[in-house]
Amino acid sequence: MTVKAIGFVGTGAITEAMVRGLLAEPAYASEIHVSPRSAHIAATLVDEFAAVRIAKDNQDVVDHSDMVFLAIRPQVAEEVVQALSFRDGQMVVSLVAATERQALSEWIGADVHLVQAIPLPFVADRQGVTAIYPPDTAVAALFDMLGTAVQCQSRKEYDLLAAASAMMSTYFGIMEQVAVWLERCGLEKAKGQAYIAPLFASLAQKANSPGNEPFSALSREFATKGGLNEQVFSDFEKKGGLAALTAALDGVLARIEGRN
């Protein structure tokens, strides 16, 4: 256990996932302080874990924590963070999406050690990959315990991984589109879903297996010359599928970088 007291300002979905991961056995923190908003999540965590304490307010979280996570939505971040007093040298990890580091520093005011991170819900099962910026040994150790930490050397790298992390809904959206198509063609929806979920799970497992074959090699390996897989991928590309995906990523990167 390397961090004694951890705090969360904002007790929403990502805080719940992180607390579950941090306090799975063996626990990574001896105390976790959460803010009282989203009372139902805070109450569930307190019921389940003896190490969780519901703070009086956000300042109480900051005051009791060695490492403070900012886990509020971007829309309220300025108002919430500016109202807080941090200690010089305190470790602050911002999970707030699409928010400039410079702006965060100004709202925080004190000379804290500021790191940004993009945890994904899979941290709850200690299987989340988390981009962090700038590199930091203590924060990387924490996220390595919750899965895998990827330490970004530059703001650009971090923004690019943030853009890639926005693929989650599309991944499931593609699965849903196949299930809907199967249903339209006469297959019971539940049967389609029961087939597609393990198919995609096996493919993801293959991509993530030791040895890390390039995706391009996997795509070729799974496309027999003149076969069905090759036909679908080729049609998808010709009809603009890959161009649409690239444009969507360009768009989300522009938003992350504050260009639109």
Ligand X SMILES: NC(=O)c1ccc[n+]([C@@H]2O[C@H](COP(=O)([O-])OP(=O)(O)OC[C@H]3O[C@@H](n4cnc5c(N)ncnc54)[C@H](OP(=O)(O)O)[C@@H]3O)[C@@H](O)[C@H]2O)c1
Q: Is 192 in the site for ligand X (CB under 6 A)?
A: no
Residue 65 binds ligand X, judged by CB under 6 A: no
Cα 183 to Cα 168: distance, rounded to the nearest angstrom: 23
- Could you say whether residue 121 binds ligand X (CB under 6 A)? yes
3-state secondary structure the chain: CCEEEEEEECCCHHHHHHHHHHHCCCCCEEEEEECCCCHHHHHHHHHHCCCEEECCCHHHHHHHCCEEEECCCHHHHHHHHHCCCCCCCCEEEECCCCCCHHHHHHHHCCCCEEEEEECCHHHHHCCEEEEEECCCHHHHHHHHHCEEEEECCCHHHHHHHHHHHCCHHHHHHHHHHHHHHHHHCCCCHHHHHHHHHHHHHHHHHHHCCCCCCCHHHHHHHCCCCCCHHHHHHHHHHHCCHHHHHHHHHHHHHHHHCCCC
Taking the complex as a whole, how short is the minimal distance between the CB of residue 232 and ligand X, in angstroms?
30
Q: Contact region for ligand X (CB under 6 A) — 113-121, 132-140, 170-178, 181-189?
A: 113-121
Which one of residues 6, 14, 19, 115 is an interface residue with ligand X (CB under 6 A)? Answer: 14
Residue 218 binds to ligand X (criterion: CB under 6 A)? no
Q: Contact between 58 and ligand X (CB under 6 A)?
A: yes
Minimal distance in Å, beta carbon 256 to ligand X? 11
The annotated binding site for NADP(+) is made up of 71-74
74 binds ligand X (CB under 6 A): yes
Considering beta carbons, is residue 37 or 126 the nearer one to ligand X? Answer: 37
- Piece of the chain touching ligand X by CB under 6 A; list 72-80, 133-141, 150-158, 203-211: 72-80
Write down the least CB distance from residue 12 to ligand X, Å.
Answer: 2
Residue choice 10, 21, 147, 192 for contact with ligand X (CB under 6 A): 10
12 is a contact residue toward ligand X (CB under 6 A): yes
- Residue with Cβ nearer ligand X (165 or 193): 165
Of 17 and 179, nearer to ligand X (C-beta) is: 17
**Contacts with 142 (C-beta within 8 Å, 6 or more apart), sequence order:** 2, 3, 22, 28, 67, 149
Contact residues toward ligand X (CB under 6 A) are 9-15, 35, 37-38, 58, 71-74, 76, 80, 95-97, 118-121
